[in-house]
Structure 1
Amino acid sequence: MGRHFCRYISDTKLIGMCLLLGTATMLPTESSAETLAQALSAAYNTNPTLAAERAQLRATDEGVSQAVSDWRPTAELTSDYKNSWSNTKGGTSLVGNNHTKTVDAGAKVTQNIYKGGRTTSGIRQAEANVGAGRSKLLNVEQKVFVEAIGAFLQVIRDIEVVDLRVNDEQRLARQHESVQARFELGDLTRTDVAQSKASLSKSKAARRQAEGELEVSRANYERIIGMPAGGLETPAVATDLPKTLDQAIEITVQNNPSVTNAVFAQQSAKEGIEQAEGTFLPTVNMSGTADRLWLRERSRSRTNSATFSVGLSVPLDTSGVLQSKLRQAHQSSSQARLQYEAARNEAIEATIKAWENYFTAEAKIQPLEDQVEASTIAYEGSKLEEEVGNRTIFEVLEEKQKLIQAHVELVDANRVYRLAAYELMSAMGVLTAENLGLAVDKYDPNDHYDDVSDRWMGLGTKWRGKTKEANDV
């Protein structure tokens, strides 16, 4: 087993690093602001879902060690103590009385010589299962990162919306005071005052709702990333994605972990056929025993014995069980092949969908920016017109609400736009710590695999007792 489980084409690492590292140069922020890369690093190190999947992979590694053990001899010690009495009577008299104590100790070593190739295919099947497990781990890693990025961007969005709502409430409060004063001077009507108060009350409710949504987002952020959200730096807009959809699909077919998982599952199923076919072939075992028997009588005799044997067994009639298992293995292989096709098609579909979502989100930004600009002009103009009597207070308030709503829609669109880029990376299978260039101690699945795959005895040198992840969590 080796590094061939994770295959990346040459451009994928550059894609991720440009997306993340670009944040520091493109957006000026406070020195204390937390970057997206830092948040993803925290999630990578502390997320319990990711840590649990790593533990599951380490358990899968043990399947290789168990399969390799079929090449090795087995040894056992046996011991037996027996204390027996017997007597013989002839008529009314006792003619014989025996009391025997025996101690028997021995050792037996058994070595399999041949069992139809099942050991070799079993090892290959276990290795394929490890490959599938590694692909699954990458899939979980990507899902955690998508959740983390979504939580990060949602907190930023909600903070911006709260700021908009707070500013709107403060402005409406000042405006309401002005309207009240003008009403007292006879310049405005009671209806104007009521409309102003209604707008202020609506703004307060919107501000409270925005604050509640922010608290929910912060809680979700802490659950996924493992620490509270502080000041967050808005990440740069992604620009270094594949140039064409065909390139994105090519990357997907090679790297999407659901596809690679299905490839390894297909290999495992094929080895299952080899395993089933091997049950029809002979099994040859070689064994040797050494035994010593102590007879605890007056003579205290001792008998030593040793045997060596080679056994051959050939299945003849198993009531159809072996044939059924072989048919079952072939059907499982067919299932795995079809599941690969399904996984490949689903991955391509997800990439196409993510691609279209990204460019659709990108296309919305400029119109929404134009809408904000137009709404700003309309609002400022309505205020001037109200001062000369061409507009009512209600119309000014309406224009202001349109402006606030335009700002909120633009904030939402920016969140969707940034998130869509990372969802596209996830669909392609390149949203990993390695490709993103995160400054973390990367989890290397080979460490545990190399430690246990050929181990005869012991719990391993690196994973004895509590694991690193268990300690961290």
Structure 2
Amino acid sequence: MFISKLPAGVRLAASVCVLGLGLAAPRAADADTLADALVGAYTYSGLLEQNRALLRAADEDVAVAAAALKPVLRWSAGLTQNFGRVRTSASRVTIDNDDLTAALNLIAELVLYDFGSRRLRIEAAKESVLATREALLDIEQQILLRAVAAYMGVIEAQEFVALRENNVRLLTQELRAAQDRFDVGEVTRTDVALAQAQLAQARSGLAAARGELVSAVEEYRNVVGRDPGTVRQPSSLPAIRENVDAAKAVAVRNHPSLKSAQHQVAAADLLARATLSDMKPTINLTGRLAATENLNANEFNRGGSIGLEAGQTIYQGGALSATARRAQAQADAQRGNLHTVRNDVTQDVGNAYATLTTVQAQLAASERQVRAAQIAFDGIREEAALGARTTLDVLDAEQALLDAQSLQVQARAALYVAAYRILASTGRLTAKDLRLPVQLYDPAEYYNLVKDSPARLSKQGRQLDRVLKSLQKD
């Protein structure tokens, strides 16, 4: 069930499944729709690029953890110059001990069994990747909501400027009329001064409104990455669930910040188990190949070894136990954070719906206020022309009409922002949910390239280097 009862005069179709953004309509060269602003924000945002890079770093943590289960192969080489003399007591012969020895060693190590410590760390790294993916979606929602606010802010500021310009024109006419009536003795100098003061105030308000428009354009440029074209009011509101409790249930299931917190709890629990396994023995397979040669004599040695090693740290000043307790405390902290995030998510949904209800009521009231203020202004102006009203009455009526129109403009812009804030609070303000015409970022693509820890010189490693180079921006 969706919201369909909107204030009179702004009854907007909300029957579309996702958004009525006019995505299929051709875009004029100098016009910007809300969809254009959202697309620009998604493709331009440096904050999204930053968090995508952080996600790639988390993907590499899985590769690092997985590498701990693979063989370690290393080599060492040395060149040793020995010098000195040796004299035996039996023969009393002095022998020069002067030779140059070269040595080369190749060592291989493999962990055979560690009570699951390394595998638990791999699973913990995977949970951290999933948490980071959800955090990236939450950032995406914030960016798109800011784009909505920036777009509506430009519309609101432009309408304020138009209202102020119209106000200046009307008050200029009122001043001219007051001056004409003063010239024929129908009003006093006071009436003229009142009209002059009101006009000066209107010009001041116009200057302020133009300044607000400049600020709104700067915000739009910051978020979307370019200046706005000719912006126009969106044709419809997004589809929103009418039942607040149902929306809260959706948020609890789908909101990325809550899902991220759940994965953080899982990662912390796995790390706590891994630290307990660290206190148990490990079994390693080791192999060695060695070659030494005396370069000053025809002497050499070739050989190797292979063996099993088992070991365990018995005592380290309590460091292992402290590490295990710290990991458990961190897991408990993540559970507490999950509880907090869940409460915040449900509260945000309730606040978003309350804001929408308030704005709808304000918009309906402002429409009635504008109609009444317009009728009052027109009537008082006619009465003033007949001498039944003073200049002050006309000026007060004009100010009341301007105030009503300003409230209407504010409420209309706030209505759209409030509606999209509901989408964000339920986790549905993403490029995928909005069906924006953009190339969606695939978080699994990079992960699939690195999860098996490819070596840099391997075919997959060279492919990965090309991907990284393409991701880098000047």
TM-based fold match above 0.5: yes
Change (3 A) 1:94 1:462: closer
Quick check: 1:98 aligned with 2:97? yes
Which one of the candidate residues 26, 36, 39 is aligned to 1:38? 36
Gaps of at least 5 residues in structure 1 are: 1-14
**Distance (Å, rounded) in 1 between the aligned partners of 2:403 and 2:26:** 26
**1:20–1:36 Cα contact (<8 Å) kept:** no
**Distance (Å, rounded) in 2 between the aligned partners of 1:97 and 1:394:** 120
- Who is 2:377 aligned against? 379
- Who is 2:145 aligned against? 146
1:86 Cα deviation from its structure 2 partner:
1.4
**Distance (Å, rounded) in 1 between the aligned partners of 2:16 and 2:316:** 59
Change (3 A) 1:288 1:88: closer
Q: Deviations over 1:60-99 (max 9, x none)?
A: 11000001101110111111111111114689x9722221
- Who is 1:5 aligned against? none
**Distance (Å, rounded) in 2 between the aligned partners of 1:17 and 1:66:** 46
**Distance (Å, rounded) in 1 between the aligned partners of 2:125 and 2:26:** 51
Gaps of at least 5 residues in structure 2 are: 1-13
- Who is 2:106 aligned against? 107
- Who is 2:268 aligned against? 269
- Who is 1:6 aligned against? none
**1:371–1:406 Cα contact (<8 Å) kept:** yes
Look up the equivalent residue of 1:74 and give its one-letter code.
V
Structure 1 counterpart SS, 2:239 = coil
**1:259–1:344 Cα contact (<8 Å) kept:** yes
- Who is 2:244 aligned against? 245
- Who is 2:11 aligned against? none
Change (3 A) 1:117 1:29: closer
Structure 2 counterpart SS, 1:317 = coil
**Distance (Å, rounded) in 2 between the aligned partners of 1:31 and 1:19:** 25
**1:164–1:404 Cα contact (<8 Å) kept:** yes
**Distance (Å, rounded) in 1 between the aligned partners of 2:218 and 2:235:** 24
**1:17–1:436 Cα contact (<8 Å) kept:** no
**Distance (Å, rounded) in 1 between the aligned partners of 2:408 and 2:27:** 20
**1:29–1:233 Cα contact (<8 Å) kept:** no
Change (3 A) 1:245 1:46: same
- Who is 1:48 aligned against? 46
- Who is 1:8 aligned against? none
- Who is 1:233 aligned against? 232
Aligned-pair identity (%): 27
**2:265–2:338 Cα contact (<8 Å) kept:** yes
Look up the equivalent residue of 2:370 and give its one-letter code.
V
**1:283–1:314 Cα contact (<8 Å) kept:** yes
- Who is 2:331 aligned against? 333
**2:147–2:224 Cα contact (<8 Å) kept:** yes
1:360 Cα deviation from its structure 2 partner:
1.5
Structure 2 counterpart SS, 1:21 = coil
Q: Which moved more, 1:236-245 or 1:129-138?
A: 236-245
**2:275–2:324 Cα contact (<8 Å) kept:** yes
Q: Which moved more, 1:182-191 or 1:399-408?
A: 182-191
**2:21–2:34 Cα contact (<8 Å) kept:** no
- Who is 2:463 aligned against? 461
**2:252–2:346 Cα contact (<8 Å) kept:** yes
Change (3 A) 1:242 1:294: same
Question: What is the total number of aligned residue pairs between the two structures?
Answer: 455
**2:82–2:99 Cα contact (<8 Å) kept:** yes
1:24 Cα deviation from its structure 2 partner:
6.5
**2:123–2:267 Cα contact (<8 Å) kept:** yes
Look up the equivalent residue of 1:446 and give its one-letter code.
A
Which one of the candidate residues 318, 322, 325 is aligned to 1:324? 322
**2:48–2:140 Cα contact (<8 Å) kept:** yes
1:454 Cα deviation from its structure 2 partner:
1.0
**Distance (Å, rounded) in 1 between the aligned partners of 2:303 and 2:33:** 75
Structure 2 counterpart SS, 1:457 = coil
1:31 Cα deviation from its structure 2 partner:
6.7
**Distance (Å, rounded) in 2 between the aligned partners of 1:358 and 1:404:** 24
- Who is 2:340 aligned against? 342
**1:16–1:436 Cα contact (<8 Å) kept:** no
**Distance (Å, rounded) in 1 between the aligned partners of 2:284 and 2:153:** 64
Structure 1 counterpart SS, 2:231 = coil
- Who is 1:7 aligned against? none
1:358 Cα deviation from its structure 2 partner:
1.0
Quick check: 1:362 aligned with 2:360? yes
**1:19–1:237 Cα contact (<8 Å) kept:** no
Quick check: 1:176 aligned with 2:178? no
Structure 2 counterpart SS, 1:461 = helix
Quick check: 1:157 aligned with 2:156? yes
**Distance (Å, rounded) in 2 between the aligned partners of 1:424 and 1:125:** 33
1:148 Cα deviation from its structure 2 partner:
1.1
Change (3 A) 1:203 1:142: same
**2:51–2:136 Cα contact (<8 Å) kept:** yes
**1:67–1:123 Cα contact (<8 Å) kept:** yes
